[in-house]
């Protein structure tokens, strides 16, 4: 059973696993695009015959197996959360992040002593 609590390192194993699954889907997507029938369906070519393997992988829920663009979005959103969380929750991190709205400057860390 997957625990909702972060691991002692501050990482969430379930979210790391989901990132890995998304990466596998992207690799599978790229490898399946070498098939001409799937590439045609993906890039807007003629529709595959109903019931064919290309049709099943393109127009049914099996599309999730090779949904590359969607998996890339999931991977990047989870990466931002998973890789930032340990930094923000670390006891050694005695600072706060401030975002300067309207100035176009990125976030920076202000020391806790300056508060």
Q: How confident is the model at residue 54 (pLDDT cuts 50, 70, 90)?
A: confident
Name the residue among 15, 17, 20 with its Cα closest to residue 81.
15
DSSP string for the chain: ---SSPPTTS--HHHHHHHHHHHHHHHHHHHHTTSHHHHHHHTT-SPPPTTSHHHHHHHSGGGGGG-HHHHHHHHHHHHHHHHHHHHHH-TT--EEEE--TTTTPPPEEEEGGG-
**Has residue 24 got a pLDDT over 70?**
yes
**Has residue 36 got a pLDDT over 80?**
yes
Q: How confident is the model at residue 70 (pLDDT cuts 50, 70, 90)?
A: very high
Q: How confident is the model at residue 103 (pLDDT cuts 50, 70, 90)?
A: low
pLDDT of residue 102: 57
pLDDT of residue 76: 93
Residue 26: φ, ψ to 5°: -65, -45
Overall pTM surpassing 0.75 (yes/no)? no
pLDDT of residue 16: 87
Model pLDDT for residues 79-93, shown as the tens digit of each residue: 988 888 777 776 665
Name the residue among 23, 29, 37 with its Cα closest to residue 67.
29
């Amino acid at each position: 059973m997957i625990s909702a609590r972060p691991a002692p390192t501050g990482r969430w194993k379930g979210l790391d696993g989901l990132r890995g699954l998304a990466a596998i889907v992207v690799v599978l997507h790229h490898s399946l695009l070498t098939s001409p029938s799937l590439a045609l369906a993906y890039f807007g070519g003629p529709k595959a015959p109903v019931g064919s393997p290309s049709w099943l992988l393109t127009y049914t829920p099996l599309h999730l197996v090779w949904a590359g663009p969607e998996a890339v979005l999931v991977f990047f959103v989870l990466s931002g959360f998973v890789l930032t969380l340990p930094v923000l929750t670390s006891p050694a991190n005695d600072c706060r992040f401030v975002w300067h709205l309207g100035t176009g400057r990125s976030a920076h860390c202000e020391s806790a002593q300056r508060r």
